[in-house]
Amino acid sequence: MIVIVEIPHQRKPIIWGAETESDFIVKVATDDMPDDIDFDGAIEWNAKDLSNQHVYRSMDDAARASLDGFSGHQGEAATEALRRIVQDYSWAITDPALRLQVIGAAWDRARDNEREIAGEAYDAAKAAAEAGLPETQIAEALGVNRLTVRRALGKN
């Protein structure tokens, strides 16, 4: 599997794949592309109108890049897009230690997101209670039990 990260000048980064070098050449072919172009030439051809392009010849290589991340123009967006793809295709990572590292990093980001959302939920619960909504209604809206709402409100 070949993984391609395209970073355009103005649009969001695009991640796509090709099964083989020949498949890559077919996918990037245009009418004005030379007929006898090889894989490396096709990589250069595809990159000519992009801000940047990264080509990984295996999911393991893409996984390593997702852990390192990108800097520069749209680096953060490209890193997040690649991380989502690598996580979705983590079954294709052949190095067990690398796969564990990728899944561990994804899990760490998920916990960070959960803590952030929990803080927002607590703030929303407090605002709802101050507006007069009953604890049971707040709990139902948040998908938690009433005890969790009481904790958010500082009652337990």
What is the per-residue pLDDT across 86-145, written as a single tens digit (0 to 9) for each?
999 999 999 999 999 999 999 999 999 999 999 999 999 999 999 999 999 999 999 999
Give dist(CA 14, CA 58) in Å, integer.
17
Identify the CA nearest to 5 among candidates 68, 51, 67, 60: 51
Q: Provide the H-helix boundaries in 1-134.
A: 21-28, 39-47, 59-68, 75-88, 96-130
User: pTM of the predicted model, to two decimals?
Assistant: 0.74
Which residues, in sequence order, are bridge partners of residue 55? 4
Per the rule left: phi > 0, alpha: psi between -120 and 50, beta: everything else, 73 is beta
- Residue 23 above 80 pLDDT? yes
Residue 57 makes CB contacts below 8 A (sequence gap 6+) with: 2
- Average pLDDT, rounded, for the chain: 93
Tokens 């890049």 label which residue? 65
Confidence of residue 30 (pLDDT cuts 50, 70, 90): confident
The CA R_g of the chain, rounded to the nearest whole Å, is: 23
Beta carbons of 135 and 150 less than 8 angstroms apart: yes
pLDDT tens digits, one per residue of 133-142? 999 999 999 9
pLDDT of residue 68: 94
Which residues, in sequence order, are bridge partners of residue 56? 3
pLDDT of residue 156: 75
- Residue 75 above 80 pLDDT? yes
Angle, vertex CA 78, rays to CA 76 and CA 84, nearest 5:
105
pLDDT of residue 32: 84
Domain locations in the chain?
2-94, 100-152
